[in-house]
Every structure is written in C-alpha cells, then in structure tokens.
Amino acid sequence: MNTSAAAGLSPEAVIPLDALDPDAPPDDLAWLDEAVGDARVVAIGESAHYNRESYELRHRLLRHLAERHGFGAYAMESGFTEGWRADAWVRGADEPLGAVMAGGLTSLMGLWTPMRAHLEWMRRHNATAARPLAFYGIDLPGSVASPLPGLDAVLAYLAAADPDFRPDPGLREGVAAFAAPSPFSAPAALAAYTGLAQGARDAVTAALADLTARLTSRRLACVARTGAAAYERALHTLRLTVTLDAVVRALARGDHQGAMNARDAAMADTVDWILAREERIVLAAHNGHLQRGPGVLPGMPPMMPLGLHLADRLGDGYLVIGATSGTGQILNTGPDFYTGTLFTPMEAPEPGSLDALMHAAGHDGPFAVDLRRLSPADAEAVRGAARRRAGVGSFYAEQNALESFDLVVHLSRVTAAEPDQDAIAHASDDVRRAFAAWTGGEG
C-alpha cells in the first residue's frame, strides 16, 4: 500500500459539519464562505444518485449560498425541457407538487421526499425574496431516454411562433418508436432503436436537422410573435433533442465514449446558456460529471466531463465540491435495478482510495476538506489516494483529487432517500411498478 495514503489525514484537515439538516444554523459553513470567492458556478457532487444525505447537503448549501452570497439559480442533473415546469412551480404556479416532481424532474431525480422539501423551500423563499431563485435542468430531455419531451416542446412552440409551418408527422412517429417513459424502460428503448432499419434512423436525424434549419432561419419572425426568451428556450431545447438523437445513434453502434462526450458537452453548453441569464448558480450533479479531470468508467476510454468544459471556460469562476462516502446503501447498477432492486449495500471503501482516506479520518459525522489549503503531508496523502468510488457497482476510477476538486465533503454513512408516494403516483406505469417491487407495495 502507498505509505503516504496510509498515513491518513491530519485532524487539521478535517472541517466538521454539525448537520446535514437544511434547517440547521449556518455556523459550521464558514469554510464555504471562505471558498466561494467570486465563483459564478459552485458545483456540488455526489458519489451516487438518490441518497438522502446528498439531497440534504445540496439543499443546505444552496440555502446558504442564496441567502448569504446572492446565488440566484439552482441547476441540477435533470432535463432542461422538463425543468421549466419545476421552475414555474417554485415561482408560485398552481399545480400539484407531486405532478411537478414526477414530470418536472427527470431520471427519477424528483421522486424522493428530500427533493420535495427542497422545492417547497425554494417556493417559500421566492414568496418573500426580492429576486426569485430559479430552477433549471441541465440535462438532455426524457431522462436521456426519450427525445419526445424535447420534440413536443419545440413543436408546441412552432405552432404559436410559425403557424404556417406544417411539421412532418413522420418525425414524431419515428421518435415515438424508440421513446422510453423512464430510465426503467431505457434498455428496451435502445433495443427498439437498434432494431429499426438504418433508413428509419436516418430519417429521424434528417428531419431534426430540417426542423433546426426551419427554426433558425425563421428567428426574426418567431421572435416577433413570441419574444426572444421563448425563442431562445425553444432553440436550446431543439439543440438538446438533436444531441440526444446523436447519443442514441452512438450507443447503437457501441460508441459509449462518444455518447458520454456528447451528453456532457451539451450539459456544459446548457450551463453557459443559464449563465447568460443568471449571475451565479449552484450546480448539482454526479462527481463524474463535475470533476475537472477526464472521466473513467468501466471498459471505456477516458471521456470529457461537464466539469472539464466548465473549468476551461470559467477558470477560477468554477468551484467544485466533490463527495465521498463510507458505508450504507448505494444505487444498484446491476440488471435487477430495472425490476425494482433500486439500492444495494455499500461495501467498505477500498484501501488506498480517496473514500478510504476520508473515512479513516476518525470523524463519524459529515465533514469537509479544503484541498487547496492542505499541509504538504495532507496533500501528499490525498495525492497518494489515486482512486475514487465511482458509484458504478464496485468500480473505482483513477483520479487525482487535487486536480479534480477544490473541496471534498465526506458522508460517513449514506442511506436510500425515502420515496415520495405522491410523486410516484403521478409517474409512468413502469416507474410505479419498479417502486412497488422495491417497497413491497402495489403497482
């Protein structure tokens, strides 16, 4: 074992957090006040999706950054198109919250009670705030599994902005042939796409290109009818839908690296799109998307994550807080996930990993480590812990944490978030069946 990694962190490197409870006093967040500086984007990572502690940490840090530092937007790894529905709700729209959680957030991100608490706080905050706190999704539409939400949003926009346009009905029919209602149906959707004739796949791609040409060439007329904001939203939605088509094409030919690169570059472009409208944003996504260095997944060449793009574009304006974990439950990435085994026990961190180094620091509760202010001995220990739990089964990714993150928050124990039954009741049939299998309820 590497002796520097085995040496462990000194007590001086550990900054204890009194609580993850978003309602807790902010007395233990001075480290965040010192770190934020002039950053326009503060990114908060997670080791895996759907853990209660990750939701609460992001909620707590958002509150502090909004109330103390004037951050005006929360952007998360969820669909851009669908996110406008959640944004409308936190600004006061009259719609059942369960429906918003199921339909305004994607990739199952909205189906948990900590997310309900998060959205409810944003709405309360906006009821009295001088400037509303906006909600954005940054990801591709349809849980990265269906172009239909993006396509439907664009067609609805064109019906108002370009009433003489008659879209080819074959485009929507072609997309519907491989659209998945949720991540639980994604494998079947990809199989359906792979089973399409090449001509049918190419027809969808060509029709999306034609739609893009129509929307861009008619910009002045569209803006005159709807205003610039609605036009720009529709255009970015279409660009993300085109990217999703490219992602599906890449996956069908086995090019997983190309698919991941296209998705993360599009998410980075979406963050740019938001920054053109918001001065400072809090960004929530998986560590693997937010890190500054190349990303590694099992069996794949290194890919270029969202954080690598943002670091290049923003420099010191991008502050990234990674997350490590010790024990508890983690998202199940095995095939039985699709039949309702959503979580699996988390094995103890592997020796020599960043997670093990943090977990051995001797602090039972959550704590932060500022990687930019370590002693030489602590920096050497972190440098020696050159692998990090990737949240994909038992896989550990090679990573230089000092280059990838500014700070790291360690969660000594993580648990499955509590499913929100109201949100699940508004979800698609495949989601309800999977959650019923997990909880033992009726689908």
The residue whose two tokens read 């409208």 is: 277
In whole angstroms, give the CA distance from residue 187 to residue 137: 23
- What's residue 300's pLDDT? 83
pLDDT at residue 3, rounded to an integer:
38
3-state helix, strand, coil in the chain (%, to 5): 55, 15, 30
According to the model, what pLDDT value does residue 87 have? 98
The owner of tokens 């659209």 is: 179
What pLDDT sits at residue 441? 60
Spans in the chain with pLDDT lower than 50? 1-6, 442-443
Q: How far apart are CA 198 and CA 186, in angstroms?
A: 20
Strand ranges, E, within 262-347: 281-284, 318-331, 343-346
Please give the model's pTM, rounded to 2 decimal places.
0.96
**What is the length of the chain?**
443
* Whole-number pLDDT of residue 24: 96
Do 240 and 266 touch, CB atoms closer than 8 A?
yes
